[in-house]
Amino acid sequence: MSSPIPVPTSPAPDILRCAYMELVVTDLARSREFYVDVLGLVVTEEDDEAIYLRSFEEFIHHNLVLRKGPVAAVAAFSFRVRSPEDVDAAEAFYTELGCPTDRRAGGFVKGIGDSLRVVDPLGFPYEFFYETTHVERLAWRYDLQSPGALVRLDHFNQVTPEVPRAVGFMESLGFRVTEDIRDDQGTVYAAWIRRKPTVHDTAMTGGDGPRMHHVAFATHEKHNIIAICDKLGALRLSDHIERGPGRHGVSNAFYLYLRDPDGHRVEIYTQDYYTGDPDNPLVSWDVHDNQRRDWWGNAVVPSWYTDASLVLDLEGNVQPVVKRAEPSELEETIGADGFSYTRKGETTEGFKLGHQL
C-alpha cells in the first residue's frame, strides 16, 4: 500500500450529506431525455449548457447537474456542510494537505453559493458548500410523480485502487465505515462510508481510479424500481439496464443499475437501514460469498466491475487513472481460479455459479 494520507491538524468540516453530482455529458438533449423524460427527475432550471435536476423530496436547488462537455466525466462530487464556516474548515483542511483548491463566493453552478472545490488526495474532484437556494419540496406533489419517482439522492460510489488508504483518509474527514468486503488474506475490496445515518454517502470500490462508479437515487418502495424497468422496456430502452433489479447483500437495499447515454452508471436504491449510532456494528462480507453483491446470488455482469466514469480536475482535464495492484473482486469470484459460494464450506457449484457466467 502507498503511504497513508496524513491527517491534517486542521479540523474536518462537518459534512451533512452527499448533495449533488456535476456530470459532464456529451449530448445534453439525449441526457435530458434519459434523466427527465424517462427517470422523471425534476428540472429546477436549465439553459443551453446545463440542466439542474432534483429529486421529489429535495429542498435544495438540485441533486444533479448535467453539463454539456466534450468528454463524459464527473466534474464534482458535492457535499453539503453544516454551516458557512464549514466551507472555511474544508478549505483549511485540504490546503494543509497540499491539494489543489478553488474557492468561489458565488459558487461554481447555479443555485449554490460560496463553495470550495478541491482535487482530493485520491484524485477526486470534491465540492463543499452550505449556501443554496431553497426550492419547493415536492414530496406531497403526487400529481407530478411517476410510478418510478426518485425521492432522494442517496449516495455516490467511487473507484480507487487502494481501498484501505482511501477509507483511512475519509475517516479523517469524518466519515464512518458501515460495511465492507474482504478476504481472509486481508485484502479489502470495497467499503461503504457515511455521514448521514444511512449505509453510505459514498463508497470506495477497489479498481483502477480515480473513477466514478455510480450515483444513486432513492425511491420509496421496490415496485417503484420495477416500474422504471417496465418503462424502459416499454420505450425499447431496456439496454440501459445493466444489472438488477435485485437485493443487495451489502446494505440490504433493493437496487437497480442503469447506464445513461454516456455510460455513466446510475443506481436506483431503496430501503437500507439506520446507522447513526457511533457504535453501529460494522458488517463485513467475505469476497467469496455469492450473496454479498446480490442477496439472491444472481450474477454480477462483468461490465459492472470494469466500467466506470472518468473524473476531472479543477481545470476540467481528465484525471489520469491508476491501475489497482491488489486482487480484483471480479477475478477472485468468477472464472478460472476465482470462486463464489452460497454456503461457506460447500464447494459443489450449481447452475448459478461457474461456467455459465
- Whether the upstream peptide bond of residue 245 has omega within 30° of 0, thus cis, is yes
**CA gap 66, 134 in Å, rounded:** 19
For a copy of itself, the closer CB: 91 or 289: 289
Task: Scan residues 307-326 and list those touching a copy of itself (CB under 8 A).
Answer: 307
The minimum distance between CB 10 and a copy of itself, in angstroms, equals: 22
- Here the cell at position 276 is 447513526
Task: Scan residues 165-224 and list those touching a copy of itself (CB under 8 A).
Answer: 196-197, 220-223
The minimum distance between CB 343 and a copy of itself, in angstroms, equals: 5
Task: Scan residues 70-99 and list those touching a copy of itself (CB under 8 A).
Answer: 80, 82-83
**CA gap 237, 226 in Å, rounded:** 14
* Part in contact with a copy of itself (CB under 8 A); list of ranges 52-60, 93-101, 107-115, 321-329: 52-60
**Interaction of residue 336 with a copy of itself, rule CB under 8 A:** no
**Interaction of residue 233 with a copy of itself, rule CB under 8 A:** yes
For a copy of itself, the closer CB: 5 or 226: 226
**Interaction of residue 252 with a copy of itself, rule CB under 8 A:** yes
Residues 6+ apart with CB under 8 A from 13: 81, 82, 86, 87, 89, 90, 93, 128, 173, 174
User: What are the backbone angles phi and psi of residue 272, rounded to the nearest 5°?
Assistant: -90, -155
**Interaction of residue 271 with a copy of itself, rule CB under 8 A:** yes
The minimum distance between CB 284 and a copy of itself, in angstroms, equals: 13
Q: Cell 454456503 maps to which residue?
A: 343
Q: Please, what's the b/e burial string for 3-32 (b: 16 or more CB within 10 A of its CB; e: otherwise)? A: eebeebebebbebbbbbbbbbbbeebeebb
Residues 6+ apart with CB under 8 A from 85: none
* Part in contact with a copy of itself (CB under 8 A); list of ranges 61-69, 165-173, 243-251, 318-326: 243-251
The minimum distance between CB 120 and a copy of itself, in angstroms, equals: 23
Task: Scan residues 103-142 and list those touching a copy of itself (CB under 8 A).
Answer: 134, 137, 139-142
For a copy of itself, the closer CB: 124 or 295: 295
* Part in contact with a copy of itself (CB under 8 A); list of ranges 66-74, 182-190, 203-211, 228-236: 228-236
* Alpha-helix residue ranges (DSSP H) falling in the chain: 28-32, 84-96, 163-172, 222-234, 302-306, 329-333
Spatial CA neighbour of 13 closest among 103, 83, 109? 83
**Interaction of residue 36 with a copy of itself, rule CB under 8 A:** no
Q: Give the β-pairing of 64-68 and 15-25.
A: parallel
Rule CB under 8 A: choose which of 172, 280, 284, 328 binds a copy of itself.
Answer: 280
- Tally helices (H) and strands (E) across the chain: 6, 18
For a copy of itself, the closer CB: 124 or 255: 255
Q: Give the β-pairing of 310-311 and 188-194.
A: unpaired
**Interaction of residue 288 with a copy of itself, rule CB under 8 A:** no
